[in-house]
Amino acid sequence: MKILIENIDIITCDYNSEDIIKNAFLGIEGGYISFISRTKNEEFKPDYVINGKNKILMPGLVNAHTHCAMTILRNCADDVSLHEWLFNNIFPAEAKMEPEDVYWGSLLGIAEMIKSGTTTFADMYLHMDEVARAVSDTGIRANLSKSPWKFDASKKRLANQMSDCFEYYKKWNNSANGRIKVSVEIHSVYLFDEESLCSSAQIAKELDARIHIHMLETLREREESIEKYGMSPVEICLKTGVLDVPVIAAHCVHLSKKDIEIIKEKGVNVVHNPSSNLKLGSGIARVPELLSKGINVSLGTDGAASNNNLNIIEEIHLTAMIHKGVNMDPTCINAYECLKMATVNSSKALGLEREIGYIKEGMKADVILFDMNKTHICPINNPISAIAYCVQGSDVDTVIIDGNIVMEKGQLTTIDEEKVKYEVKRISKKIFNL
Ligand SMILES: [Zn+2]
How much is the pLDDT for 147?
96
**Which residue, 194, 203, 190, is CA-closest to 240?**
194
Does this model's pTM top 0.95?
yes
- Residue 380 Cα to ligand 1 middle (Å): 35
- Residue 66 Cα to ligand 1 middle (Å): 6
- Residue 369 Cα to ligand 1 middle (Å): 28
Q: Are strands 404-408 and 3-11 parallel, antiparallel or unpaired?
A: unpaired
Contact 13, 357 (CB under 8 A): yes
How much is the pLDDT for 83?
87
Q: Where are the domains of the chain?
A: 3-59+364-412, 61-349
CATH class of 3-59+364-412: mainly beta
- Residue 52 Cα to ligand 1 middle (Å): 36
Same fold, 3-59+364-412 and 61-349: no
**Which of the residues in the chain have pLDDT under 50?**
none
- Residue 109 Cα to ligand 1 middle (Å): 14
- Residue 76 Cα to ligand 1 middle (Å): 16
Q: Which residues surround ligand 1, an ion (CB under 5 A)?
A: 302
**Which residue, 205, 192, 177, is CA-closest to 237?**
192
- Residue 274 Cα to ligand 1 middle (Å): 12
**What would the pLDDT profile of 342-374 be if each residue is shown by its tens digit?**
999 999 999 999 999 999 999 999 999 999 999
Separation of alpha carbons 325 and 279, rounded Å: 17
Separation of alpha carbons 191 and 205, rounded Å: 21
How much is the pLDDT for 155?
72
User: Tell me, what DSSP letter sits at residue 394?
Assistant: G
How much is the pLDDT for 99?
97
- Residue 433 Cα to ligand 1 middle (Å): 25
Give the chain's radius of gyration (CA, Å).
Answer: 21
How much is the pLDDT for 57?
98
Architecture of domain 61-349: Alpha-Beta Barrel (3.20)
- Residue 302 Cα to ligand 1 middle (Å): 5
- Residue 360 Cα to ligand 1 middle (Å): 31
- Residue 165 Cα to ligand 1 middle (Å): 20
Contact 249, 189 (CB under 8 A): no
How much is the pLDDT for 433?
80
How much is the pLDDT for 190?
94
Backbone φ and ψ of 273, nearest 5° = -125, 70
- Residue 84 Cα to ligand 1 middle (Å): 15
How much is the pLDDT for 12?
98
How much is the pLDDT for 60?
98
Those residues whose C-beta lies under 8 Å from the C-beta of residue 329, and which sit 6 or more positions away, are 288
How much is the pLDDT for 326?
97
- Residue 124 Cα to ligand 1 middle (Å): 8
- Residue 14 Cα to ligand 1 middle (Å): 28
- Residue 303 Cα to ligand 1 middle (Å): 6
**What would the pLDDT profile of 161-175 be if each residue is shown by its tens digit?**
899 999 999 999 999
